[in-house]
Amino acid sequence: MGTSYEVQFISLEAAVSDAFIENEIEKLLEELDRGIFTTYSLDSELSHVNQLPLDLPVSVSKHLLSVLELSKEISELSGGAFDITVAPLVNLWGFGPEAHNIFSELPSELAINEAMLKVGLDNLLIDEGASQVTKTADITLDLSGVAKGYAVDQVANLLGDLNVESYFIEVGGEIKIKGLKPNNQEWIPAIEAPVYGSSQLYALLRSLGETISLAGSGDYRNYYERGGVRYSHEIDPRTGKPITHNLAAAFVIDESAARADALATAFMVLGPSEAQELILQEEIKALLIFRIENSQFQSFISDGFSRYLAK
Ligand code: ADP
Ligand code: MG
């Protein structure tokens, strides 16, 4: 997944050693990343699906099936703003594994239109009962906007199975926390201000004794500028172009880190007003941070989210 992870946990059960738990976490993440989700190698399950011929149903693992189903759900909820078939556009604009544009001209309208012909999640049929998927057009799946969150959920499930009741799991910035530390202190996730480089605190959260996931998405780590315009790695499949609005970051709290991850990406693509509408309509726990000037921000915080802000 091209990222790092960190897991802190308090284990009280003498039957399993910390080293065993660490090893299980590593095996799980290896299986999810190298085995299933990565597009940086041709051997992963996802890469195999991407190489499939059209109209041929193929069985997929339960992990891939769940992420694809969730992706479809968030795609529908966001009116197509979140779309895991956006890869040809991500590459065209210089962000993906096949990126070729970063240091040259911006893509032409013609190239954008051609790439858009290969985008659209409608072209993936999912048969949940049979655990099969079928590609009906030449699409390429890219799970970068949701897989890290899914990995967080899976590590949480694993720790649950091993009777670990207190943890702080972080994969590529998406997190899940449960329980208290031994001194009865809460795990305290921090939200950074959306500025590149130096890390500045924006807000601190608390879990209120719940198991919560927090995922974020921003325009400030992976972007380039041309002619004073910021081109970020979130691409709007509806226009074929990177987002250029002033929504700098979106954070979502949810039970599922995968859902929070996908929603945060969806909000970045939807932009300030459409994101707010959806948050209110679906009562999503979300924080949106708008860039007013270079390092000046304003925020929108839904009621559900504000409960978790440490005062
Ligand atoms: P981060 O890596 O900052 O956590 P996200 O979770 O928002 O970011 O994922 C961004 C990645 O998702 C991009 O690098 C790209 O591969 C992919 N992506 C870009 N645009 C979309 C989109 N509209 N829908 C789904 N995935 C996208
Ligand atoms: Mg995301």
Rounded distance from Cα 286 to ligand 2 centre (Å): 13
Regarding the beta carbon of 144 and ligand 1, being less than 6 Å apart is answered yes
Which residue, by CA, sits nearest to atom 9 of ligand 1? Answer: 145
Q: What is the pLDDT of residue 295?
A: 76
Higher pLDDT, 221 or 131: 131
Q: What is the pLDDT of residues 224-271, one digit of tens each?
A: 888 888 888 899 999 999 998 999 999 999 999 999 999 999 999 999
**Are 156 and 176 within 8 A, CB to CB?**
yes
Q: What pTM, to 2 d.p., does this model score? A: 0.95
Quick one: average pLDDT of 58-71? 98
Q: Which of 1-5, 34-38, 95-99, 153-157 has the lowest mean pLDDT?
A: 95-99
**Are 54 and 137 within 8 A, CB to CB?**
yes
Residue 98 has pLDDT above 90, yes or no: no
Both tokens assigned to 308: 């978790």
Residues in a beta bridge with 232: 223
Name the residue of 265, 267, 268, 288 to mutate for ligand 1: max ligand atoms within 8 A of Cβ.
265
Residue 8 has pLDDT above 90, yes or no: yes
For residue 257, the 8-state DSSP code is H
Residue 162 has pLDDT above 60, yes or no: yes
Q: Which of 47-61, 87-101, 210-224, 263-277 has the lowest mean pLDDT?
A: 87-101
Q: What is the pLDDT of residue 116?
A: 97
Quick one: average pLDDT of 166-173? 97
Instruction: Return the CATH fold of 180-306.
Output: T-fold (3.10.520)
**Are 135 and 55 within 8 A, CB to CB?**
yes
Quick one: average pLDDT of 286-310? 93
> Given the CA of residue 87, which atom of ligand 1 is nearest to it?
16
Regarding the beta carbon of 233 and ligand 1, being less than 6 Å apart is answered yes
Please provide the average confidence, as pLDDT, over all residues in the chain: 93
The structural domains of the chain, with segments of one domain joined by +, span: 51-135, 180-306
Quick one: average pLDDT of 8-20? 86
Rounded distance from Cα 87 to ligand 1 centre (Å): 10
Q: What is the pLDDT of residue 257?
A: 98
Residue 19 has pLDDT above 70, yes or no: yes
Q: What is the pLDDT of residue 46?
A: 98
**116 Cβ partners below 8 Å, 6+ apart?**
88, 89, 237, 240
Enumerate the H helices of the chain as residue ranges: 18-30, 45-50, 62-77, 87-92, 109-116, 147-161, 257-270, 272-282, 303-306
Which residue, by CA, sits nearest to atom 6 of ligand 1? Answer: 145
Q: What is the pLDDT of residue 95?
A: 86
Rounded distance from Cα 43 to ligand 1 centre (Å): 22
**Are 124 and 136 within 8 A, CB to CB?**
yes
In percent, the amount of the chain with pLDDT more than 90 equals: 81
Q: What is the pLDDT of residue 102?
A: 59
Q: What is the pLDDT of residue 104?
A: 65
Rounded distance from Cα 268 to ligand 2 centre (Å): 9
Three-state SS for 310? coil
Q: What is the pLDDT of residue 230?
A: 83
CA-CA distances (angstroms) from residue 65 to 20, 68, 84, 125, 302? 28, 5, 13, 11, 31
Q: Do domains 51-135 and 180-306 have the same CATH topology?
A: no
Rounded distance from Cα 67 to ligand 1 centre (Å): 14
Q: What is the pLDDT of residue 311?
A: 72
If one looks up domain 51-135 in CATH, what number appears? Answer: 1.10.3980.10
Q: What is the pLDDT of residue 97?
A: 67
Regarding the beta carbon of 192 and ligand 1, being less than 6 Å apart is answered no
Chain centre to alpha carbon of residue 191: 16
The H helix count followed by the E strand count for the chain is: 9, 16
User: What amino acid occupies position 256?
Assistant: S
Residue 101 has pLDDT above 80, yes or no: no
Rounded distance from Cα 173 to ligand 2 centre (Å): 10
Regarding the beta carbon of 218 and ligand 1, being less than 6 Å apart is answered yes
Residue 197 has pLDDT above 80, yes or no: no
Name the residue of 234, 235, 241 to mutate for ligand 1: max ligand atoms within 8 A of Cβ.
234
Both tokens assigned to 217: 């998405």
Higher pLDDT, 94 or 265: 265
Residue 15 has pLDDT above 90, yes or no: no
Regarding the beta carbon of 234 and ligand 1, being less than 6 Å apart is answered yes
Rounded distance from Cα 192 to ligand 1 centre (Å): 18
Q: What is the pLDDT of residue 103?
A: 56
Q: Which of 24-33, 71-80, 99-108 has the lowest mean pLDDT?
A: 99-108
Name the residue of 86, 112, 195, 245 to mutate for ligand 1: max ligand atoms within 8 A of Cβ.
86
- Nearest alpha carbon to residue 28 among 50, 47, 1: 1
